[in-house]
């Protein structure tokens, strides 16, 4: 199968490309610019795969790409993160909302060829935890996002539903929360990964949130996108993603255990994320299980090894440790 990955140069995009290749699939990469700085370390030799530069917010950009490479499925990951959407809501809507419409519209024009669209939604579609009560929040709970980013993700879920009913395009959207791993350097929840890097570099670092979080390792999330791209199913489906529920203070303790020299350097703001930490992923497990669930100790250790290797070569980029 040939799978097109939008946002292929990004954090989850790079790991999704790697996972597709591990499954033995063909990949076509697209992003705004041909920036291999993540892909080179995650994939190894990204230049050997077809890459098309372009802006998904421009109508028609993907039409030729789908035809030229005979794309069978699309994994749509290109998006602005929360800080970018907050700083420029109009541009954020063009990329996140109009861009997603353009992806589905291109697939509609290739309805006999493209089998499905898999896309990144977000746990940011939910509202504050207090409106949901006790217990895991189901996938069909009321959506009351408090950020532009979350609102755009809700719109994308509705767009996917409309394209199923009006054009018959199957889709699956996934709602990750605090995804960590090598390459995560943009967005509020990137602080989990950036704290690990700061600890290695012996730089004081304050995580911008506290409370309970759902910590999800990037390889597990990438595997979920790939499984959905390779499986046949009807409808416009949306799924919660779940990893390990923990307090931010426990995350810091895990990092200190891996890097004893970081003790006392890492702190956090006692301000919970404006979304529920505990989501019900039973439907995800039912349709795509058994799911990968990497323990935080192991995922953080793998990520730390990436950072150590880069540090040993003098290639560890610390620029993302500045305030965002």
Round the average pLDDT of the chain to a whole number and report it.
96
Q: Which two tokens stand for residue 52?
A: 């098309």
Is the torsion defined by CA of 41, 47, 50, 52 positive or negative? Answer: positive
Please report the pLDDT score of residue 324 as a whole number: 61
DSSP bridge partners of 228: none
Q: What angle do helix axes 99-109 and 148-167 make, rounded to 10 degrees? A: 20
Residue 52: phi and psi, rounded to 5, are -125, 120
Q: Which two tokens stand for residue 258?
A: 């891996």
Taking only the tens place, the pLDDT of each residue in 120-158 is 999 999 999 999 988 899 999 999 999 999 999 999 999
Residue 72 near residue 115, CB atoms below 8 Å: yes
Q: Residue 149 catalytic?
A: yes
Could you tell me the domains of the chain? Answer: 2-181+218-243+274-293 (3.40.50.720)
Query: Is 244 in a helix, a strand, or coil?
Result: strand
Taking only the tens place, the pLDDT of each residue in 63-79 is 999 999 999 999 999 99
CB atoms within 10 A of CB 58: 12
Mean pLDDT by 10 residues, the chain (324 residues): 98 98 98 94 94 96 96 98 95 98 98 97 96 93 97 98 98 98 93 97 96 98 98 97 98 98 97 96 96 97 97 93 74
- Sheet strands side by side (includes 171-175): 51-53, 26-31, 2-6, 73-76, 116-120, 171-175, 236-240
Which residues contact residue 254 at a Cβ distance below 8 angstroms, ignoring those fewer than 6 apart?
A: 296, 297, 300
Q: Using CA atoms, how far apart are residues 257 and 243, in angstroms rounded to an integer?
A: 20
Q: Using CA atoms, how far apart are residues 122 and 150, in angstroms rounded to an integer?
A: 7
pTM of the model: 0.96
Taking only the tens place, the pLDDT of each residue in 224-243 is 999 999 999 999 999 999 99
Q: What angle do helix axes 11-22 and 218-230 make, rounded to 10 degrees? A: 60
Catalytic residue, chosen from 36, 119, 132, 149, is 149
Q: What angle do CA 189, 192, 198 make, to 5 degrees?
A: 125
Helices (H), the chain: 11-22, 39-42, 61-69, 82-87, 89-93, 99-109, 148-167, 191-201, 218-230, 248-258, 282-288, 296-312
């Amino acid at each position: 199968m040939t799978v097109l990955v939008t946002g292929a140069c990004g954090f989850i995009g790079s790991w999704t490309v790697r996972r597709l290749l591990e499954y033995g699939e063909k990949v076509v990469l697209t992003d705004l610019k041909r920036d291999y700085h993540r892909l080179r370390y995650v994939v190894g030799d990204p230049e050997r795969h077809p890459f098309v530069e372009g802006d998904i917010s421009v109508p028609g950009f993907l039409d030729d790409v789908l035809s030229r490479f005979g794309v069978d499925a699309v994994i749509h990951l290109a998006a602005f993160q929360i800080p970018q959407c907050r700083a420029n809501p109009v541009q954020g809507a063009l990329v996140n909302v109009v861009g997603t419409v353009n992806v589905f519209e291109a697939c509609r024009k290739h309805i006999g060829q493209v089998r499905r669209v898999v896309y990144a939604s977000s746990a940011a579609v939910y509202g504050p935890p207090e409106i949901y009560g006790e217990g895991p929040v189901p996938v069909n709970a009321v959506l009351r996002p408090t950020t532009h980013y979350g609102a755009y993700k809700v719109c994308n879920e509705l767009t996917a539903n409309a394209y199923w009913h009006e054009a018959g395009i199957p889709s699956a959207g996934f709602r990750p929360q605090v995804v960590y791993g090598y390459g995560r350097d943009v967005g509020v929840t990137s602080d989990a990964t950036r704290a690990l890097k700061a600890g290695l570099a012996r730089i004081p670092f304050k995580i911008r949130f506290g409370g309970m979080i759902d910590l999800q390792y990037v390889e597990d999330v990438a595997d979920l996108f790939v499984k959905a791209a390779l499986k046949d199913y009807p409808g416009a489906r949306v799924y919660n993603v779940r990893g390990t529920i923990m307090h931010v203070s426990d995350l810091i303790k895990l990092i200190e255990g891996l890097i004893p020299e970081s003790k006392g350097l890492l702190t956090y703001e006692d301000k919970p994320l404006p979304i529920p930490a505990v989501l019900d992923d039973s439907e995800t497990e039912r349709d795509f299980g058994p799911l990968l669930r990497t323990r935080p100790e192991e995922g953080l250790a793998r990520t730390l090894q990436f950072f150590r290797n880069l540090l040993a070569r003098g290639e560890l980029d610390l620029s993302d440790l500045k305030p965002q």
